[in-house]
């Protein structure tokens, strides 16, 4: 089931969400800096902290650091922003999803490199790069950008089919997470789960909100970036952790914890954003 998600569901959804947009719509550098740049910076900080203060290896630290920053933009942020702002809110959510796709690309590259080092200390660099490019999620992301450049788009039939696949991803991920959950692991790793959950739901959105204001983004884009950052951890993080056997139980618990608590924290962030930018919520 996990392999089906990694090799079929996630690549199809990534290709669809990116490829359906016009290429020029994907170019909003301020958003990429405030949202994507913040995510990368916080990932680096988390990775360094985890490596310095814990016994996690490179692969495990990579998975957990990304679990603390990467959001479920496609299944959480996109519906929320579309419901509040209509089509105007959909584009920022798609760009946020592209950022997550790039984060997944970086994460997969590190995991592939780590796996290559485990298999052989003398694995050639070109073989590692080839394995990275052959990864279906990375290939789908790159192909989605190229397809967006063509401007062809998707027919209604294809869009409906891919929408069904995106719904299937949620079901597959939730089933796999439930199957992996262990009460003993939750008790043993409680402090780590709590730490990364607080970072994901409170620290990351706060830093993204601050970055958006410092860069001078339009209020709608600030709201979209913050809501995207405040979404729970992407379920694809767990699927990749399971696929590469890098702390899948801990990743599953972080996804579960952030998904449960985000119901309250997202309302809190929407309240804060409405207080800061009340006129933006009157656009739709």
Segment holding 93, helix H or strand E: helix 87-119
Segment holding 101, helix H or strand E: helix 87-119
Fill in the DSSP letter of residue 135: S
Statement: residue 212 has pLDDT above 90: yes
Distance CA 167, CA 164 (A): 5
**Tens digit of each residue's pLDDT (9 = 90 or more) over 213-250:** 999 999 999 999 999 999 989 877 887 888 888 888 88
CATH of the domain at 273: 1.20.1530.20
| CB-based contact 24:207 (threshold 8 Å) | no
What's the structural domain count of the chain?
A: 1
User: How many CB atoms within 10 Å of residue 232?
Assistant: 25
> Which 3 state secondary structure label does DSSP give 233?
strand
pLDDT of residue 120: 47
User: How many CB atoms within 10 Å of residue 48?
Assistant: 12
pLDDT of residue 140: 81
Q: Dihedrals φ, ψ of 249, to 5°?
A: -65, -45
pTM exceeds 0.85, yes or no: no
User: How many CB atoms within 10 Å of residue 226?
Assistant: 27
> Which 3 state secondary structure label does DSSP give 195?
helix
pLDDT of residue 97: 79
What is the residue-averaged pLDDT of the chain? 81
What range defines the domain where residue 210 resides?
Answer: 2-282
**Tens digit of each residue's pLDDT (9 = 90 or more) over 81-95:** 877 887 677 778 778
Distance CA 216, CA 219 (A): 9
For helices 219-230 and 204-215, the axis angle rounded to 10 degrees is 160
Segment holding 247, helix H or strand E: none
* Among candidate residues 171, 177, 175, the one with its CA nearest the CA of residue 238: 177
pLDDT of residue 121: 47
* Among candidate residues 1, 242, 26, 237, the one with its CA nearest the CA of residue 142: 26
* Exposure on the CB side of residue 18, measured as CA atoms within 13 A: 26
pLDDT of residue 167: 66
For helices 58-67 and 87-119, the axis angle rounded to 10 degrees is 170
Q: How far from 244 is each of 69, 110, 118, 119, 248, CA to CA, in Å?
A: 19, 11, 12, 13, 9
Q: Dihedrals φ, ψ of 67, to 5°?
A: -65, -25
Q: Dihedrals φ, ψ of 233, to 5°?
A: -60, 135
* Among candidate residues 31, 88, 45, 51, the one with its CA nearest the CA of residue 228: 31
Kindly report the three-state secondary structure assignment for every residue of 7-69: HHHHHHHHHHHHHCCCHHHHCCHHHHHHHHHHHHHHHHHHHHHHHHHCCCCHHHHHHHHHHCC
**Tens digit of each residue's pLDDT (9 = 90 or more) over 32-74:** 888 999 999 999 999 999 999 888 888 889 999 999 998 888 7
Beta bridge partners of residue 71, listed in sequence order = 233
Beta bridge partners of residue 233, listed in sequence order = 71
């Amino acid at each position: 089931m996990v392999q089906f998600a990694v090799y079929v569901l996630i690549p199809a959804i990534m290709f669809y969400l990116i490829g359906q947009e016009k290429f020029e719509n994907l170019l909003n550098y301020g958003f990429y800096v405030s949202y994507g740049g913040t995510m990368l910076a916080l990932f680096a900080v988390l990775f360094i902290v985890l490596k310095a203060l814990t016994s996690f290896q490179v692969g495990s630290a990579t998975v957990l650091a990304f679990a603390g920053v990467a959001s479920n933009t496609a299944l959480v942020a996109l519906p929320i922003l579309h419901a509040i702002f209509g089509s105007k809110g959909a584009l920022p959510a798609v760009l946020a999803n592209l950022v997550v796709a790039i984060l997944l690309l970086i994460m997969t590259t590190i995991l592939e490199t780590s796996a290559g080092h485990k298999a052989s200390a003398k694995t050639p660099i070109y073989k590692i790069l080839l394995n990275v490019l052959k990864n279906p999620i990375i290939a789908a992301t790159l192909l989605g950008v190229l397809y967006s450049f063509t401007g062809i788009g998707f027919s209604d039939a294809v869009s409906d089919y891919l929408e069904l696949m995106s719904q299937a991803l949620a079901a597959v991920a939730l089933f796999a997470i439930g199957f992996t959950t262990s009460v003993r692991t939750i008790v043993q790793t409680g402090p780590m789960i709590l730490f990364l959950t607080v970072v994901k739901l409170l620290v990351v959105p706060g830093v993204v909100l601050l970055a958006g204001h410092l860069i001078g983004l339009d209020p709608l884009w600030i709201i979209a970036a913050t809501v995207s950052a405040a979404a729970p951890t992407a379920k694809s993080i767990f699927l990749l952790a399971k696929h590469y056997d890098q702390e899948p139980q801990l990743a599953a618990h972080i996804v579960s914890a952030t998904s449960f608590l985000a119901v309250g924290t997202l309302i809190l962030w929407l309240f804060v954003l409405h207080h800061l930018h009340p006129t933006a919520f009157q656009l739709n």
